[in-house]
Amino acid sequence: MPNAVTLYPNARFTAFITSDNHIDLKHSCPAVPAAFLTASLKDSAKSARLPDAYITVGDTTSRGETGNWELAAECFRGIKPARHIFLTVGNHDLWGDNGFEAAKDNYLKYSNAICGTDHTGTWFSHEVNGYRLIFLGNTEDAGCEAHLGQSQLDWLGAELDAAAGRPAFVFCHQSLNGRHGLPRTWDREESATDPMEGGIGTESDSVAAILKAHKNVFYFSGHSHMGLCGEEKKRAEGYASFEQEDGVTLINLPSLACGNHHGDLRSRGLGLILEVYADRVVIRMRDFTRRRMIRRVAVCGGKPYWEQTLK
Ligand SMILES: [Fe+2]
């Protein structure tokens, strides 16, 4: 099975990205989601060039209980998937038997141990190879939605200002409201009636305005467990995993370890590889368990990968 190789030579930054791993001791077979997470980590580690980052976009666990995090940490143990590891917080990570604060403490304790970081909150940024990676996270229990707060929104704007037009990558568990087919793609039954359902919620317009005020912004989300959807789905149904809006690129990831819906590709074990070059950004779909790039679905100009020239 082939090790991952970048599309072009001279990539300046590369990352393996997964979402919604949902490690869960209450799963009918907890070893299943753990196996998908481990497969993605091993695939990343075997890349021809060790990726600069392995990133998840939230819901590493189904509930932020100690046992779930212990199992997640066990998956990472002994594997170096990338130079850096970053775990975005998801709504499920912040749910637990002992409430929001206890779940948040577990997220901080275990994500810091896994990633070798010293974060004190759910939102943070890192610069790797000159590129800004910005991670958003809830500051209070907001159910399925996000609650970022004005301080975090101001900080997001300042972070994007600091990127000064260089490509910047924002990771937030929830997508903006109404994108990627939401709210109808929130659930396989298409029963949603609230236009905000499945998205960030009340702060969506504020976040969108901040993103759109900057050049070369890429916004990654997960949360809806929607499979990978290409441009044919966009033509037929009006939504896709890769969307562009006023210069901002919006990317929604499938769940790595849960069943997906609404997608051209709904199987488990899927995620993305981000490759940043001097003049372009390439995002490719990969099957981490079969260890091969996905070529069956066209997502950008007939090509099975997103390719965008920088402005
Ligand atoms: Fe999830």
Residue written as token pair 């490690």: 23
**What are 96-153's pLDDT values in tens digits?**
999 999 999 999 999 999 999 999 999 999 999 999 999 999 999 999 999 999 999 9
C-alpha 262 to ligand 1 mean position (Å): 15
C-alpha 108 to ligand 1 mean position (Å): 18
pLDDT at 201 > cutoff 90: yes
**Domain-embedded: residue 292:** yes
* Residue 60 near residue 290, CB atoms below 8 Å: no
pLDDT at 1 > cutoff 80: no
**Domain-embedded: residue 198:** yes
CA distance 232 to 202: 31
C-alpha 17 to ligand 1 mean position (Å): 15
SS3 of residue 264 by DSSP: coil
Confidence of residue 91 (pLDDT cuts 50, 70, 90): very high
Instruction: Round the average pLDDT of the chain to a whole number and report it.
Output: 97
Q: How many domains does the chain have?
A: 1
C-alpha 11 to ligand 1 mean position (Å): 30
C-alpha 186 to ligand 1 mean position (Å): 11
**Domain-embedded: residue 2:** no
SS3 of residue 154 by DSSP: helix
CA distance 283 to 201: 27
Q: What is the CATH number of the domain that holds 287?
A: 3.60.21.10
- Given this model, what pLDDT does residue 104 score? 98
**Backbone φ and ψ of 280, nearest 5°:** -155, 165
Largest alpha-carbon pair distance within the chain?
49
**Domain-embedded: residue 5:** no
C-alpha 255 to ligand 1 mean position (Å): 7
CA distance 154 to 157: 5
C-alpha 224 to ligand 1 mean position (Å): 7
**Domain-embedded: residue 218:** yes
pLDDT at 192 > cutoff 90: no
Crossing angle of helices 100-115/66-76, nearest 10°? 10
Query: What's the predicted TM-score (pTM) here?
Result: 0.98
* Residue 195 near residue 178, CB atoms below 8 Å: yes
* Residue 254 near residue 266, CB atoms below 8 Å: yes
* Residue 186 near residue 261, CB atoms below 8 Å: no
SS3 of residue 251 by DSSP: strand
- Given this model, what pLDDT does residue 193 score? 85
- Report every protein residue that has its C-beta within 5 angstroms of ion ligand 1: 20, 59
- Given this model, what pLDDT does residue 30 score? 96
Residue 184 DSSP label: G
SS3 of residue 158 by DSSP: helix
CA distance 123 to 119: 8
- Given this model, what pLDDT does residue 191 score? 87
C-alpha 103 to ligand 1 mean position (Å): 16
CA distance 187 to 136: 23
**Domain-embedded: residue 7:** no
C-alpha 311 to ligand 1 mean position (Å): 33
* Contacts for 205 with CB less than 8 Å, ≥ 6 apart: none
* Residue 264 near residue 254, CB atoms below 8 Å: no
- Given this model, what pLDDT does residue 222 score? 98
Range of the domain at 111: 13-309
- Given this model, what pLDDT does residue 12 score? 98
C-alpha 57 to ligand 1 mean position (Å): 9
**Domain-embedded: residue 28:** yes
As a whole-number percent, the residues of the chain with pLDDT over 90 amount to: 96
C-alpha 183 to ligand 1 mean position (Å): 15
**What are 210-237's pLDDT values in tens digits?**
999 999 999 999 999 999 999 999 999 9
C-alpha 165 to ligand 1 mean position (Å): 31
**Domain-embedded: residue 103:** yes
- Given this model, what pLDDT does residue 221 score? 98
C-alpha 171 to ligand 1 mean position (Å): 14
